[in-house]
Structure 1
Amino acid sequence: MTTPQRKPVSRRIDRVDERLHLGPDAQVDDKNLIFAPRPERTDPFLLLAEDWFSSPGFEWHPHRGIETVTTVVDGVLEHGDNAGHAGALVAGDVQWMTAGSGIIHRELAFRNERAHTLQLWVNLPRKKKMVDTRYQDLRAGERPIVQRDGVRVDVVAGRVGGVSGPARTHWPISGAMITLEPGRSTEHPVPGRDRAFCYVMAGRVSVGSRTLVAGQTGWSDPVRGAEATTARITAADGDSPSVVMLYSGEPIRQPVAMGGPFVMNSAAELEQAARDFHAGRFGRIPRQARLRHL
């Protein structure tokens, strides 16, 4: 006897974050904090920042214990690390970097012209904090696209509509950029165990019964007892498409200690990370020339 498949549970928005405009600083021309570090409410995600920069950008700096997911919104991002990776990413490209045991890298605007980026910090569980470092350049033209009835889903990680995104992750994470023509809807799959966020980059959408406008992030907590859930996203009527960044991941549920570029499980581990960096255990800071040509 075949067991009937249950209809996926519809997601609801449990709370909404407003982006915070921080303005220019010594590194960037302008900055928004889309959501701030509050691990008890955002686990496994830590923060999402939006930056516009020309010069100096983010010169050599370390990380440990996290993965960073950088989406180029506009301009050209030049990157490099102390493992010898270097290159440039253009609008639509995504870089998934595993800091793991320790990496030193930089993120600059190519030729000091302009770069506009979104950077998401994804936490790693205790047993993965010290994995080997890894760089993944996920080019826009090489990622799978699911298109149907006025909806375009650019799959970065996880599985949507029978296709899988190219990102290799150390913790189960799904991620997609969703573009909806005015008045169009989609049922986006989300594992029931996951916490999901929906950041509206442009336009206005409803997720479930909640309306979100550009600059807002809607959060949906795990649905107990549901294996499969969906987020029903509907774009408002109007003249322009709506664009949504939707990521989800199972909460790690471990202590989080954050100190600058390091994210560990305890204050003692943060202190060790700082000692390791200053002792050169992350490797040397490169004397790497700037890129001249794409």
Structure 2
Amino acid sequence: MTAAAVFQRTLDRVENARRLGADAQVDDKALAFAPNDPALTDPFLIMAEDWFSSPGFEWHPHRGLETVTFVVEGVLEHGDNLGNAGALEPGEVQWMTAGKGIVHRELAYRNEHAHTFQLWLNLPRTKKMTDSRYQDLTRAGMRRVRAPGVVIDVHAGTVAGVTGTAETHQSVQGLMAAIDPTASFGLAVPAEHRLFVHVVSGRLLVGGRELASGQTGWSDPVGGVDSTMLHLTVPDGDEPAKAMVYSGTPLREPVAFGGPFVMNSRAEIAEAFSDFQSGAFGPVPRQARLAYDR
């Protein structure tokens, strides 16, 4: 009896980040991908890249989704109405489950500078109203995979036998990879997962297709196979590459957007706004700015 062949993944489509510029909250913003067609990105909804100093993202609510925030530069200060508060440094991640409702803020420490990516991950219908929680993935506790010329920070799921510390409400694998020129890595990905690779810096060959900084490549679920592999390599002579690679099982459920809320119907969005305005999410905190000294 022969072992089942491993299916080599390729990219089904590639999109470029869209630069939006400054607004009332940020110094600059880009969308790595937008929720133009949630069925094409399911279970992922949107990913924004933000550069901010002041004011940042003051107190605001969420329901029905998870936000995964990656710090690229600076220090990100955060707090919520559950009493959580802290600061994250470059390379660290915050995995926030909004669930039934939370009020939180994300600021640049001392209003100096923060550069972040924030990914919105949809919650299944059965988990939309789960309890809210925060998980900080710090450098000290980060699980890593090391190979020649490759360092992978594992956020969620299991990569090369190393399991990330984020607890998830669905099947998700997430990582940040730093790869040197000419180095490569074969990433095992569940066949039922939809996967995206976002190149943060440098150039990267993904399943044989080249992506430049700011581009996102997508690989859709594969049927009829037991396992799949995605090959990542940096072309000869180029600078090192850094890339975010996330995958998850599509929910295949209706998606209704309403500002900071993501539910399954417009009626549920209306209910979320009503609940927030009536105080069901809890009071907006009067919390002082963080005195940070790690």
Structure 2 length normalisation: TM-score?
Answer: 0.98
Counterpart position of 1:124: 123
Distance 2:23 2:4 in 1: 51
Counterpart position of 2:102: 103
Distance 2:108 2:252 in 1: 36
Counterpart position of 1:79: 78
Distance 1:272 1:94 in 2: 30
Contact 2:202 2:238 in 1 (8 A): no
Counterpart position of 1:35: 33
State the 1:292 CA deviation: 2.2
State the 1:8 CA deviation: 1.6
Contact 1:78 1:110 in 2 (8 A): yes
Show structure 2 runs of 5+ residues with no match: none
State the 1:255 CA deviation: 0.2
State the 1:190 CA deviation: 0.7
State the 1:149 CA deviation: 1.4
Distance 1:293 1:145 in 2: 26
Counterpart position of 1:249: 248
Counterpart position of 1:92: 91
Contact 2:4 2:226 in 1 (8 A): no
Q: Aligned with 2:116: secondary structure?
A: strand
Q: How many residues align?
A: 292
Distance 1:288 1:227 in 2: 50
* Aligned 1:14-29 pairs, distance under 5 A: 14-29=12-27
Counterpart position of 1:50: 49
Deviates more, 1:23-32 or 1:225-234: 225-234
Counterpart position of 2:11: 13
Distance 1:66 1:57 in 2: 21
- What is the CA deviation profile of residues 169-196 of structure 1, one whole-angstrom value per residue up to 9, with x for unaligned ones? 1111100111110011110111000000
Q: Aligned with 2:75: secondary structure?
A: strand
Contact 1:31 1:50 in 2 (8 A): yes
Distance 1:259 1:167 in 2: 27
Structure 1 length normalisation: TM-score?
Answer: 0.98
Counterpart position of 1:216: 215
Distance 2:211 2:239 in 1: 15
State the 1:7 CA deviation: 2.9
Distance 2:276 2:207 in 1: 46
Contact 1:203 1:236 in 2 (8 A): no
State the 1:239 CA deviation: 4.6
Deviates more, 1:3-12 or 1:77-86: 3-12
Q: 1:91 corresponds to which letter in structure 2?
A: P
Q: 1:137 corresponds to which letter in structure 2?
A: D
Q: Aligned with 1:183: secondary structure?
A: coil
Q: Aligned with 2:83: secondary structure?
A: coil
Q: Aligned with 1:252: secondary structure?
A: coil
Distance 1:156 1:136 in 2: 11
Counterpart position of 2:60: 61
Distance 2:123 2:204 in 1: 31
Distance 2:253 2:280 in 1: 26
